[in-house]
Structure 1
């Protein structure tokens, strides 16, 4: 029972972290109809900014958690202004190719600035150590923090899309951009804001993940694959689907890594293939459901 409980907690931990990252990818597609292949690089950039802020400059982790995603969001606004605004009315494949080029640019920029080596940062002192439970069960404090942050992010996004004017404007732009313009909604500003918000979520996830994972130039490539698995399982463009897909992938990693370590690497792809066979649009997939 202790082993099962720990596997479940680890699954939720992984799943909610993946949700924070993948939901930004889903929101961008749902509103802008863009498959942002550079999303993983923005996640990586958030982690590397955490390295510079915490390890090099000595800033508190909590301040880094606020500043690093904002820096990446500003960078996303520049990218949107200089590059992406020219392809918003084109086919999805054009955005995929352009953002893949952006991924390569950001990967090489990270190697030039931070080098090809691996970086590690420690969790803040408040979150070091473990919680001890009965039956010899212990759970890292930082993992519990990730669980809480994931749940707060989920609640915040739900409130944003269902209870705020900004969220309703974003949903209106996703459903019918021309009608939104007729209603005097500044769709140009909405598009830029949504792309920046997706980048902010990616970088926020990168900062959260930095004390848990080795930080290297290939981490963005790994996370974009997992993010695509999440959105394919849950449904491309679906906010609830991002949560469902992330939890399913977290369960695959949590229980597969503990009980089937020999095949754990291929289990996510098997799960994705099974979902596609049954529901090609994903478990909760609809075209414009962000």
Structure 2
């Protein structure tokens, strides 16, 4: 515990800006992954334990696309769409076979996919660490805020993540297809009785959820080290986010992701040996006080 260092950082605007930007980056990446995880659970009722694999897939697809084209836009789109396509294939040919099955069966299937994906990455890309590097388009002087400096790419990541999250919320809450998806989550039999192809909707929702993880991977690729198994750590934190925010709540995922981001950024200074303990402690408190999460719906008994 180093409260003196934490107080010193908070009293320095330069240090505070640096840590706040770090917190926002961590929070936005977690939000992208957790919102997809929450969407899939909210509609399909599946705890997608393999979700981190789509984050890894997005990062590696973006990396190889950038190596081939030197275009970050193409790399970003390829990572997002590639992860979404893999998610649709996974849903149609694998996860759809365990709908309504015991949760242990679902977890075992997802864990098997994690191991398969990790080995495929080792075969295709090799076990070595890889780094995309900062794209040329973002090779700009850092922006100054209150004496602190924030890289231009960090600002882009924050704005892009918030914009995508806002579009997702608007699509679910304000559009006809969003109303159908919400109805699908509550009564799929009735939606099917109205002549709507629920099989196609399930695949689309899973694909969008996977694409959100791929977007996070694409955004993280220039700033994170790529390695097989990289999806596991963010998956664990994403589950913490969804539990705290509430399964099925996009806004709850945003609030919880920011909470975890600030905990990681400032906890690394004040409580460097107990950051994970604080995060899991917050999750435990939420589960005790409000098991459905901060903004999750209460489940009728």
The CA RMSD over aligned residues, in Å, is 1.7
Matched length: 287
The answer to whether the Cα contact below 8 Å between 1:30 and 1:287 also exists between their aligned partners in 2 is no
Residue by residue, what CA displacement relative to the aligned partner does 1:109-143 show, whole Å, maximum 9, x if unpaired?
11111111100011222223443426531111111
What is the DSSP-based 3-state SS (H/G/I as helix, E as strand, rest coil) of the residue aligned with 1:133? Answer: strand
Q: Which residue of 2 aligns with 1:193?
A: 204
Q: Which residue of 1 aligns with 2:56?
A: 44
Alignment of 1:78 onto 2:80: no
The answer to whether the Cα contact below 8 Å between 1:17 and 1:150 also exists between their aligned partners in 2 is yes
The answer to whether the Cα contact below 8 Å between 1:237 and 1:287 also exists between their aligned partners in 2 is no
TM-score, scaled relative to structure 1: 0.93
Residue 135 to residue 85, structure 1, CA distance change in 2 (3 Å): closer
Residue 178 to residue 232, structure 1, CA distance change in 2 (3 Å): same
Alignment of 1:140 onto 2:151: yes
TM-score, scaled relative to structure 2: 0.90
Kindly report which structure 2 residues correspond to 1:136-285, keeping only aligned pairs within 5 A, or say none.
136-285=147-296
The answer to whether the Cα contact below 8 Å between 1:236 and 1:287 also exists between their aligned partners in 2 is no
Unaligned runs of 5+ in 1: none
Q: Which residue of 1 aligns with 2:9?
A: none
Q: Which residue of 2 aligns with 1:30?
A: 42
Unaligned runs of 5+ in 2: 1-11
Return 255-264 or 233-242, whichever deviates more: 255-264
Q: Which of 125, 132, 136 matches 1:121? A: 132
Return 267-276 or 14-23, whichever deviates more: 267-276
